[in-house]
Structure 1
Amino acid sequence: MGLLTFTINVTLDGCVDHQEGISDEETHTYFTRLLDESGAMLWGRTTYEMMESYWPAVARGDFDAPPALREWALKLESKSKYVVSATRSDFPWTNSHHIEGELRTAVQALKDQTPRGVLVGSGKLATQLDRLDLIDEYKFLVHPMIAGHGPTLYQGGLPSTRRLELISAEPLSNGAVAMHYRRTD
């Protein structure tokens, strides 16, 4: 069984807005490495639609992109992508699949069939999955800024505090810190 890892960019005040944070070669290289180490991506519909509106075009070469962004796009193109959505069932982007049925059962089955693990990169979906005790690890790229707005991590709340063990903290030269935690409870 693979681990379910919540990974996302986050500012010091917890903002997970995709327009906040440092978007450079180093950041994309970090996320490409995580993608390489995992077996699949898991997103909610909103995140999927945001990603599909841009990254397939970068992978095709429709936009001039730095090497690290092109590499991310190409690897994302070939990676299995799973989407949780109650309002959409057609996901035409290469290697995209709809998660159907009861969320706990469907995501547990995905973990069971993906020994290299699954990365979840949607804040609202991660909150739902954490409420179901399905998230095993957290890999946050913490950016050196205060956004002063949301959305924020766990904006919808959790039923109890999560106790975590620090696995690693890796500072990047751009000032961000890659934090890796594992649940202890």
Structure 2
Amino acid sequence: MGLLTFSINVTLDGCVDHREGIADDETHALFTRLLEQGGAMLWGRTTYEMMESYWPLVASGEVDAPPALREWALTLETIPKYVVSSTRTDFPWTNSHHLVGDLRTAVQDLKDRTPEGVLVGSGKLATELDRLDLIDEYKFLIQPMIAGHGPTLYQGGLPSTRRLKLVSSEPLSNGAVYMHYRRAD
């Protein structure tokens, strides 16, 4: 059984808005490495739609991009992508699949059949999965800024506090810090 890992950029005040943060070569290389280590990506519909509107164009060369962004796009192109959605059923991006049925059962089944692990990169979906006690690890890239706006990490709340154990931390040259935690409880 693979682990379910929540991975996202987050500012010091908890903002997870995709427009906030440093998106440089070092950051993209970090997230490319995370993708390469995992066996699948899991998103909610909104995140999937945001990603599908841009990254396939970078992967195909239709949009010019620096090498680190292109490598990220090519890696993203090949990894299986699973999408949770109650309003959309057609996901044409390469290697995209609709995750259907009971959320707990469907995600647990995905974990069971993906020994390399599954990355979840949608904030709202991660909150729902954490409420179901399905998230095993957290890999946050802490951005060196205060956004002063939302959406924020876990703004929907959790039923109880999550105790975490630090696995590793890695400062980046841009001032961001990559933090890897596992559930301690």
TM-score (norm 2): 1.00
Match in the other structure for 1:33: 33
SS at match of 1:9: strand
- Partners in 2 of 1:133 and 1:98 — Cα distance? 21
1:63 shift after superposition:
1.3
Query: AA paired with 1:15?
Result: C
Match in the other structure for 1:73: 73
1:161 shift after superposition:
0.1
Match in the other structure for 1:111: 111
- Partners in 1 of 2:131 and 2:125 — Cα distance? 10
Structure 1 alignment gaps of length 5 or more: none
1:64 shift after superposition:
1.2
Query: Is residue 23 of structure 2 the alignment partner of residue 23 of structure 1?
Result: yes
Match in the other structure for 2:138: 138
Query: AA paired with 1:90?
Result: D
Once superposed, which parts of structure 1, at least 4 consecutive aligned residues long, lie more than 4 Å away? none
Match in the other structure for 2:58: 58
TM-score (norm 1): 1.00
Could you tell me the percent identity over the aligned residues? 82
Spell out, residue by residue over 1:48-98, the C-alpha distance to the aligned partner (whole angstroms, 9 max, x if none). Answer: 000000000000101110100000000100100000000000000000000
- Partners in 1 of 2:167 and 2:52 — Cα distance? 32
SS at match of 2:147: coil
Count residues in correspondence: 185
Structure 2 alignment gaps of length 5 or more: none
Match in the other structure for 2:125: 125
Spell out, residue by residue over 1:113-142, the C-alpha distance to the aligned partner (whole angstroms, 9 max, x if none). Answer: 000000000000000000000000000000
Match in the other structure for 2:170: 170
- Partners in 2 of 1:123 and 1:107 — Cα distance? 16
Root-mean-square deviation (CA, aligned residues, Å) is 0.3
- Partners in 1 of 2:49 and 2:64 — Cα distance? 21
1:164 shift after superposition:
0.2
1:146 shift after superposition:
0.2
Match in the other structure for 2:95: 95
Query: AA paired with 1:119?
Result: L
